[in-house]
Amino acid sequence: MIRLDALQEIKDRFEEINRLMAREDVATDPQRLRELGRERTTLEGLVQAIDTYERATSERDDVRAILAEEPVGELADMARAELETIEANLSAIEADLRLKIIPKAPEDARDAILEIRAGTGGDEAGLFAGDLYRMYQKFAEGRGWKVEVMNVSPGAKGGFKEIVLSIRGEDAFGFMKFESGVHRVQRVPVTESSGRLHTSAATVAVLPEAEDIDVRLGPNDVKVDVYRSSGPGGQSVNTTDSAVRLTHVPTGLVVTCQDEKSQHKNKDKALRVLRSRLYEQEMEKRRAERSEVRRSMVGSGDRSAKIRTYNFPQDRVTDHRLEGNDKNHPLHKVMDGALEEIITALQTADNMEQLADLASGS
């Protein structure tokens, strides 16, 4: 049974947020307004689900009251039939509400930093990293998100050794976090003259983008090095010290950026990535979900540590975290950005697991 007092607390909080956002002191505080706006967006769909649930329970109680008066004939038949329909619908409504009432991680509403790196497989792995980049770009554009390239290290024969992206949009991290891991590809690469089937891999890491207040960097925390860009980008890129390398002294984390012609812009981008990596590390410590350092999120890039396989000859994408009909999907659609079904299935599985944990702990 869902606790009605808990539902009322959620509705009360939603109304309180609306009142706070209308206050002048909050309206002139961009950071506070942004935080409240995120919470309001998270609660809005839940409040709608609560309203639907409460209307259905009220209708059920009204029909039960009619039946308690022991009507006869056609009225009794109609009331019993209506009650049966309402209770069937209420069961589905309650199940949906139970899933939605699971608290979202606060970082889910944030923008995301997406890092794609070529793993096992040489030049073919770099080409596959490029395919994943285009897949995510199409998926993000389909959702109305903004994609910004933060840093690129091109592959020798196309694709990328590494590409880092910023993805900005509603619940970007909440959707994209399920993409973290090793992605394996099976196909005959264009670099193969004998037509043999190859297996290669690329790693994907998704971080919630941090804000200035999340990670405070002291004046001596970051070592800044500038150097001449080595990749494509035009004469001014390759002849000036526009590339930036940041080293976080306390942890040894290194971030480079050379995608922009401006040293200042490269430094800003590198700081965004560095803050996000540090923020993600801190989250891991707080949650105590993993004891390894950041690289454990995507493994070593070895073909065996996979979350998903892209089989080109069979036009099939298999997500190894899912079961049944959710496991396999048409490859040509997925590579064209149709990731919605896979990610939704992963979200549902994650919610069900959390629901089971809540039930066992109650």
pLDDT digit string, tens, across residues 33-91: 988 887 888 788 889 999 999 999 999 999 999 999 988 889 899 999 999 999 999 98
> What is the C-alpha radius of gyration for the chain, rounded to an integer number of angstroms?
25
Phi and psi for 245 in degrees, rounded to 5?
A: -120, 120
Task: Set out the domains of the chain in order of their start, with CATH numbers.
Answer: 4-100 (1.20.58), 222-287 (3.30.160.20)
pTM for this structure?
Answer: 0.67
What pLDDT, on the 0 to 100 scale, is given for residue 241?
A: 76
Mean pLDDT of 258-275: 89
Average pLDDT of every residue of the chain: 85
Tell me which of 213 and 264 has the higher pLDDT. 264
CA angle (180, 186, 192) in 5-degree steps: 125
What pLDDT, on the 0 to 100 scale, is given for residue 281?
A: 81
What pLDDT, on the 0 to 100 scale, is given for residue 193?
A: 66
Kindly give, in sequence order, each residue whose CB lies less than 8 Å from that of residue 343, ignoring residues fewer than 6 positions away: 175, 178, 179
Residue-wise DSSP of 244-313: EEEEETTT--EEEE-SSS-HHHHHHHHHHHHHHHHHHHHHHHHHT---S-GGGGTTTS-TTS-SEEEETT
